[in-house]
Amino acid sequence: MPKLILSLSEKEVKFGKEILEKHGKEKIAASNGKYLKMSKEDFQKLEAEHEKVVDLLNKDFPIKDKELACQAIEIYRDRQSHYWTGQVTPEAHKDLSEMYVIDARFCKNYDRDFEGVSEFFRGEMT
């Protein structure tokens, strides 16, 4: 299983400038506060949930079963709520799913078994 949970310093180096520009200092500080309060078990659970989402999407991609896609999205949305402050809106999910397609760092994570899974995920999220 790949390492999905980054330390705050790793996140800052990898994504800092772009998330700061998009979300602002206050939201980033609040999100980091939630992140720092998580236990090792919380991180492991969230990492396992992410793997389940990716597995479900890759299993569903060739057969296009709405039930599997809905299950993946439900797990995904619950998982995101552990990192976000405030309400995770449908618009926020749409923005994230777009990022998973256009940003190679995320795309390769979802397109693990099949090329196009990230685009499929975006389509199911919107």
CA distances from 107 to 41, 54, 100, 104 (A): 27, 11, 5, 5
> What is the domain extent for residue 59?
40-125
User: Quick one: tokens of 117?
Assistant: 């899974």
Same domain for 18 and 67: no
d(CA 84, CA 31): 6
Tens digit of each residue's pLDDT (9 = 90 or more) over 41-70: 998 999 999 999 999 999 999 999 989 999
pLDDT-based confidence at residue 72 (cuts at 50, 70, 90): very high
Percent of the chain with pLDDT over 70: 87
Question: Is 92 a member of any domain?
Answer: yes
- Provide the domain count of the chain: 2
d(CA 59, CA 5): 23
Question: Is 1 a member of any domain?
Answer: no
Question: Is 74 a member of any domain?
Answer: yes
